[in-house]
Amino acid sequence: MTELKIELEHILSNRLLFPVFQPIVSINQEKIIGYEALIRGPEHSPLHSPIHLFDTAEHLNVQAELECLSRAITIKRFAEFAIAGKLFINVSPSVLLEPEFKDGEMLKFITAVGLDPDAIIIELTEHKPTDDYQALREALIHYRAMGFEIALDDLGAGYSGLRLWSELRPEYVKIDKHFVQGLHEDKVKFNFVRSIQNMAEAMNCRVIAEGIETI
């Protein structure tokens, strides 16, 4: 872990993070409507993989710092590319609730690079159990007032995805790829996804399916 600590400190101090943008396609409109931002470490680093990168940051208690730098680099690159559409940025609930995140710094940065907050989707990623729903609801009221929309990531794979969905009422919900891949050959998956669609319509929420790689 000592070597990984040194490597992570090197990455953070030198801002050696690289975003990639995965398109989100509307089947009905037959066009790209946005992109999910995914962060990577240096190519030949042991922390190139986002899993290793964020697991190490969590272990060393610098997850908030890593997320903050990731957002700044991603938003700046997205603005430089002048890409049309929404930008989905991953944020963990624990970081979302931190005062440093809530004080409007992200809004100031987005405005400074020439983007509008309504182009940014805060995508909640859940890797640990979340039970402070009231605090999250209040935080999302704060961010929505700034112009941001909310997405819930990996529905079906987290600890309390359905509870989070009902409590937070996001504008977008993303179905975990486990339930999408092989959907046409599995009645259980098919009915699960159909149920999600029905619930989403009732809550005026848009559904995004992850992991579509074949016709």
Bridging pattern class, strands 172-175 and 86-91: unpaired
Amino acid at 29: Q
Residue pLDDT, tens place only, 87-125: 999 988 887 877 766 667 788 889 999 999 989 999 988
CA end-to-end distance (rounded Å), the chain: 43
pLDDT at 158: 58
Q: Could you report the per-residue pLDDT of 60-94, keeping only the tens digit for each? A: 999 889 998 999 999 999 999 988 899 999 988 88
Q: What is the pTM of this model?
A: 0.89
| CA-derived radius of gyration, the chain | 17
Contact yes or no for 155/176 (Cβ under 8 A) = yes
Mention every residue, 6+ apart, whose C-beta is less than 8 A from residue 1: 56, 59, 60
Average pLDDT, the chain: 88
For 98-102, which contacts have Cβ atoms below 8 Å and span 24 or more sequence positions?
A: 98/64, 100/64, 100/68, 101/64, 101/68, 102/139, 102/142
